[in-house]
């Protein structure tokens, strides 16, 4: 059985003031570096006038949450930036909260509007840590098992049986009916090979799997 891991239950935010400065902690699930970067950009666009938008994330380095066997131990990409705050005062404390809480597949951004009083490195570190902790608390931490994604493409003649198998397996999927039919599937790593085998058998090998 592939190891379960801790992540956030969904998006959330938390806000508070410290000596006039407003801090807003945002948090979101993210399965890839691209998803994490997209969330960081989203917050930057939401708060273009903020003094700082400090990002931190822990996501699988190789892509989807576990595109490698034994995805529970997949290599993580850990990233943080101070975004103009004094070195070590913001990004690192934000990332440290994610590490200490042992959550992954997660991205945080802390937005700060400067209130006129310098907080010092210690004060900043406490504020940025608090913003991530409170956002984590709002989101809730859940146990998740590693998933992978693949696409199954077939001609229309095979689409009914393929859709039936996917639906009966209870996994998440999207179907795209174009010249051929493509099913984008998100499946627990431990079940992926078995599902692919069933699809091959049902179509006598005609299904294209990517």
- Cα separation, 174 vs 184, in Å, equals 5
- Cα separation, 168 vs 85, in Å, equals 51
| Domains of the chain: residue spans and CATH | 5-144 (3.30.230.30), 147-209 (3.30.70.240)
* CB proximity list for 33: less than 8 A, separation 6 or greater: 57, 59, 61, 77, 79
The pLDDT tens digits for 39-75 are 999 999 999 999 999 999 999 886 444 444 334 457 8
* CB proximity list for 139: less than 8 A, separation 6 or greater: 8, 9, 10, 11, 12, 27
pLDDT of residue 2: 57
pLDDT of residue 3: 76
Residue pair 63/34 in contact (Cβ under 8 Å)? The answer is no
The overall average pLDDT reported for the chain is: 91
Instruction: Characterise 40 by phi-psi region: left (phi > 0), alpha (psi -120 to 50), beta (else).
Output: alpha
| pLDDT band per the 50, 70, 90 thresholds, residue 128 | very high
Q: What is the DSSP letter of 105?
A: S
Average pLDDT over residues 14-35: 96
**If residue 38 lies in a helix (H) or strand (E), which one and from where to where?**
helix 33-46
pLDDT of residue 73: 57
Q: Could you give the percent of the chain with pLDDT greater than 90?
A: 82
Report the residue count for the chain.
Answer: 210
| pLDDT band per the 50, 70, 90 thresholds, residue 190 | confident
| pLDDT band per the 50, 70, 90 thresholds, residue 124 | very high
pTM above 0.85, yes or no: no
Question: Per the structure block, which two tokens stand in for 198?
Answer: 């069933």
pLDDT of residue 64: 45
The pLDDT tens digits for 113-123 are 999 999 999 99
Kindly report the backbone phi and psi dihedral angles of residue 205, in degrees, each rounded to the nearest multiple of 5, phi listed first.
85, 5
């Amino acid at each position: 059985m592939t190891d379960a891991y801790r992540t956030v239950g969904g998006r959330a935010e938390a806000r508070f003031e410290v000596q006039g400065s407003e801090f807003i902690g945002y948090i979101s699930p993210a399965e890839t570096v691209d998803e994490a970067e997209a969330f960081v950009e989203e917050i930057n666009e939401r708060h273009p006038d903020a003094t700082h938008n400090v990002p931190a994330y822990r996501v699988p380095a190789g892509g989807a949450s576990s595109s490698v066997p034994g995805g529970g131990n997949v290599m993580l990409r850990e990233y943080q930036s101070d975004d103009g705050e004094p070195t070590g005062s913001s990004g690192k404390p934000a990332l440290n909260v994610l590490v200490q809480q042992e959550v992954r597949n997660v991205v945080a951004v802390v937005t700060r509007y400067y209130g006129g009083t310098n907080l010092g490195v210690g004060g900043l570190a406490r504020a940025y840590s608090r913003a991530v902790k409170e956002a984590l608390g709002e989101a809730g931490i859940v146990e998740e098992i590693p998933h992978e994604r693949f696409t199954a493409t077939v001609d229309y003649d095979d689409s009914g049986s393929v859709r039936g198998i996917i639906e009966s397996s209870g996994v998440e999927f999207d179907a795209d009916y174009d010249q051929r039919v493509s099913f984008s599937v998100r499946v627990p790593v431990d079940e992926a090979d078995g599902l692919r085998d069933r699809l091959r058998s049902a179509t006598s090998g005609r299904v294209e799997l990517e």
